[in-house]
Amino acid sequence: RGGYESASKHFNPADVEVDVAGRSFLVTGANSGIGKATAKEIARRGGTVHLVCRNKERAEVAKEEIVTETGNQNIFLHIVDISNPKEIWKFAEKFQNEHKLNVLINNAGCMVNIRELTEDGLEKNFATNTLGTYIMTTALVPLLEKAADARVITVSSGGMLVQKLNISDFQSGNGPFDGTMVYAQNKRQQVVLTEQWAKAHRNIHFSVMHPGWADTPAVRLSMPDFYERMKNSLRTEAQGADTVLWLAVSPEATKLPSGLFFQDRQPVPTHLPLAYTHSPPEDEEKLMEVLEEFSQKFKSVSPR
């Protein structure tokens, strides 16, 4: 929280005091934490918000809260499990036919501390954080390509700084399983994805960010020891969401190059000094190839 408080002294409040009526935003994992805080702030500014959530009951409560607090009726709910690639394809294909989209916010994520497989045989963290983010984004790129001032923001984590891209074990099947490190690897993968997408799609502004450590249900659940130690110094959900909101609505954000990693409204390095976390370009290309293969495999079986 201290980091946020000192950084925020340099923020220009006008950057996020914008009317986004008529613009459409999709937020994954929007029923709690940073996702919900972001959706609420966008709704306050008049945006049309599509909440993509896994749990119908919790999602309906979140939607009701956002509508009540902001007075914005243009809040839509979609129930999708981001760890299920077939469901994402099905959702994206339907969404493209029915809606427009200016900004995609990839916020859904998980940190599962024991190795767990989805019904498709995918390791759960990888399925949600990496493959789910990949499919949601690539499936919606054609819709974003048609939009004015299109943006994609992915919520990563500073934890990725401790990981070098590992292309030999995407499913974390080798050796002992450490959920925190698997999550950090997925977050490194999201940074690489963002850099690759920025090169491939020049008319969409891509960014990835570290929200700082915030007091969210996900942190309490997946990192209970960390939470107990740090709870008095964690950021609020709104502070964690501040840079997401800034990247989503501020005209200032898109003046910076596409593909950067942000913290507290500033681009920051994606590697620590002297860290051996840089990857050769062929490893980054391999990541894209593998994800595209997975993606197509699940697309071919999606019901038309």
Catalytic residue set: 183
Q: How many CB atoms lie within 10 A of CB 10?
A: 9
Q: What are phi and psi of 17, to 5 degrees?
A: -85, 70
Non-local (6+) Cβ contacts of 269 within 8 A are: 261
Whose tokens are 């399925």? That residue is: 127
Q: Is 208 left (phi over 0), alpha (psi -120 to 50) or beta?
A: beta
Tokens representing 232?
A: 């008095």
Q: What are phi and psi of 156, to 5 degrees?
A: -105, -145
- CA distances, 158 to each of 141, 209, 270 (Å): 26, 8, 9
- CA distances, 273 to each of 113, 163, 276 (Å): 29, 13, 9
Contact 125, 173 (CB under 8 A): no
- CA distances, 49 to each of 42, 56, 102, 225 (Å): 7, 16, 10, 34
CA gap 62, 14 in Å, rounded: 27
DSSP string, 86-99: HHHHHHHHHHHHH-
The alpha carbon torsion through 275, 280, 284, 286 (nearest 10 deg) reads -130
